[in-house]
Amino acid sequence: MKTVLGVVALVLLGVLVIGGFAGAGIYNGLVGSSQGVDQAWAQVENVYQRRADLVPNLVATVSGAANFEKSTLTEITAARASVGQVKLAANQAPADPAKLAAFQQAQEQLSGALSRLLVVSERYPELKATANFRDLQAQLEGTENRITVERQKFNEAVQGYNTQVKRFPNVLLAGWFGFQAKPYFTAKAGTDTPPAVQFDFGGKPAAAQ
C-alpha cells in the first residue's frame, strides 16, 4: 500500500512540476508579447508627439501671412490642446477601449484641422514661397506617414498578443495572471490616409472660396 501511495505521490509531483514549467512558459510568453505591444505603443506616442511639436511653429509661420483666416488658426490650436487633455498611463498601451477611442478621436480632430489649415494656405502665395513653411510642410508630411506606419505596427503587435491570450491553453491562465485582450486602433472613413500636405509651389494659387 505504501508503495502504491509513493508511486501516486511521485506521479502527482511530476504533474505539478510539468504544469509549473508549462505555466511559467505561458506567463513568460504573455509578458514578452505584452511588452512588445507597449514598445509599439511608445513609437505611436513618439510620432504623434512629433506632430504636436510641429504645430506651434506651423501656426506661427502661417499667422505671419497677411489676412490669414484666424478661425483656422483657432481651430488647430484648440485641436492640439484637446490632444494634451487625453491622459493615458505612461509607457503603457491602453487596456481600456474607451481610452484608446478618446485618444484616437482627439488625434483625428488634429489631423482634420491640419488638413484644413494646409488647404487654406494654398490661397497665400507669399506663404508658400517661404522656406520655413516648405520645411514644415515636408516635416509634417513625413510625420503623417510615420503615424500611419506606427499605427499599423501597433495593431500587428496587439493582434499577436491577443492571439496568445485567447489561444489554448493560454486562455486558461491568462486571466488568472492578469492578462486581458487589448484594443486596436480602428480605421474610419477618411482617417486612414494622411492629410493632403503636398503643394504645387510652381502653380497658381487656389481661388478663394
Q: What is the pLDDT of residue 5?
A: 54
Task: Say what the pLDDT of residue 208 is.
Answer: 37
Segments of the chain with pLDDT less than 50: 7-8, 11, 14-19, 21, 189-209
Q: Distance from CA of residue 171 to its chain's centroid?
A: 26
pLDDT of amino acid 67 = 74
The pLDDT assigned to 22 comes to 53
Bond from prior residue into 195 cis (ω within 30 degrees of 0) = no
Quick one: pLDDT at residue 192? Answer: 44
Looking at residue 178, its amino acid is G
- Within 10 angstroms of residue 77's Cβ, the number of other Cβ atoms is 15
Give the per-residue pLDDT at 2.
Answer: 57
Domains of the chain: 27-86+97-177 (1.20.1440.20)
